A = this chain, B = another copy of it.
Amino acid sequence: MVSKTISDFYHKHRQELLYGVSLALLLFVLRWFELRFLILDHIIEIYVGAIALLFTGLGIWLAHKLTTPKVETRIVEREVYVTAGDEFTVNEPERLRLGISQRELEVLQLVAEGLSNQEIAERLFVSLNTVKTHSSRIFEKLEVRNRTQAVERARRLRLIA
């Protein structure tokens, strides 16, 4: 119980402890040198300089180690314009009038989403040729010449969302 607490404390404050211990050691060593060689008075400037440098480094190290990585989250809102309100329902009479089959409408929807024929084929688990056939028929029935016009027209007729 106690050892766990101590262990936790150690893990949480390892940095601080390490720093404290190293600081103490350093001062001890310095003091030791000081006594050992009696050179204190002569090179006091160098001594202080060394201390300053060392502790500046330590400070930087500390800051890097201890500071939680500063992540500034910048949220950029991008407005997406959508027409309001009524959820979409297929204009069934129009679909029947034009003789567009269910499957064709399905393809048409995917065409409108900007998928290529190949992508549509994969999505519907059919061959590329099948998709082509469908889209060709759609173009005929909608009396258009390409997919862009087909989407345009289908939207106007409320055949797709």
In A17-59, the 8 Å CB interface with B consists of 18-20, 22-27, 29-31, 34-35, 39-41, 44-45, 47-48, 51-59
Residues of chain B contacted by A61 (CB below 8 angstroms): 59
Please state if A83 and B80 are interface contacts (CB–CB under 8 Å).
no
Determine how many copies of this chain the complex contains: 2
In the complex, residue of chain B having the shortest beta-carbon distance to the beta carbon of A48:
B51
- The answer to whether B40 touches A44, judged by C-beta atoms less than 8 angstroms apart, is yes
Known: A56-B62, A114-B149. 20 other contacts (CB 8 A): A15-B67, A16-B19, A26-B27, A31-B45, A34-B44, A51-B52, A51-B55, A57-B59, A60-B62, A67-B70, A70-B70, A74-B76, A77-B77, A77-B79, A80-B81, A82-B156, A83-B84, A112-B152, A114-B148, A116-B146
Would you call A20 and B26 a contact (CB within 8 A)? Answer: yes
A30, A62, A91, A148 — most chain B CB neighbours (10 Å): A148
Most buried by B among A63, A70, A72, A81: A81
Chain A: interface residue count, which band?
35 or more
A119-161 Cβ-contact flags toward B at 8 Å (1 or 0)? 0000000000000000000000000111111111000111000
Is A71 part of the binding interface, using a Cβ–Cβ cutoff of 8 Å?
yes
